[in-house]
Amino acid sequence: MRLFVGLLAVSLLSGCAHAAVPTARPASALVAKSMSSFQDLDGRAVSLDQFSGQPVVLVFLGTHTPDVDAEIPNLLRLSAAYAPHHVAFVAAGEDASAEALQAFAQANQLTFPLWQDPAGLELAKRHMTQLPAHQFIDRSGKVLASKQGFMSRGELLEQLERLIK
């Protein structure tokens, strides 16, 4: 709880906004890829490095939030629509157990990877505190935009079009 309150205070003091915020900094400047805290659902360390050279839509989610329930169908449709552009979609779950995430992936018929973000470390490294949270990373590894909170299909499309240019 102290970690959450501390992160909340830092984000409020730094003027963290809920709108998509363009940035030209490389993803590696924001988060050392080799220091990734992601795990697959079997507990193995995984990294965004496996998508090197591809645009990536990274979505942090909590499986019991209404926004995620509303957003998942859009993410599924858009991941299929942008597959010809080689856009990788990756979800990172904030739930405590791999079993809960696996059940969520099966119930929602996810077609893209769902990783664990133990203790929200990757979310915090990206200076994000609200779920769902999104990062749009271009082919060179630069974070083009970050957004916290629900994204409509139109908002997702706008960011995807920027990614594939």
Digitized pLDDT (tens) for each residue of the chain, 165 residues in all: 444 434 444 343 444 444 444 443 444 444 434 456 799 999 899 999 999 999 999 999 988 888 888 999 999 999 999 999 999 999 999 876 899 999 999 999 999 999 999 788 899 999 999 999 999 999 999 999 999 999 999 999 999 999 999
This prediction's pTM: 0.79
- Structural domain includes residue 10: no
What's residue 68's pLDDT?
Answer: 87
The per-type count for the chain, helices as H runs and strands as E runs, is: 6, 6
Evaluate whether residue 114 is within a structural domain. yes
Residue 106 lies in a domain: yes
63 to 1, 15, 30, 107, 139: CA distances (angstroms): 19, 27, 25, 11, 28
139 occurs within a structural domain? yes
| Residue at 123 is within a domain | yes
Q: What is the CATH number of the domain that holds 104?
A: 3.40.30.10
Domain that holds residue 92: 18-164
Provide the domain count of the chain: 1
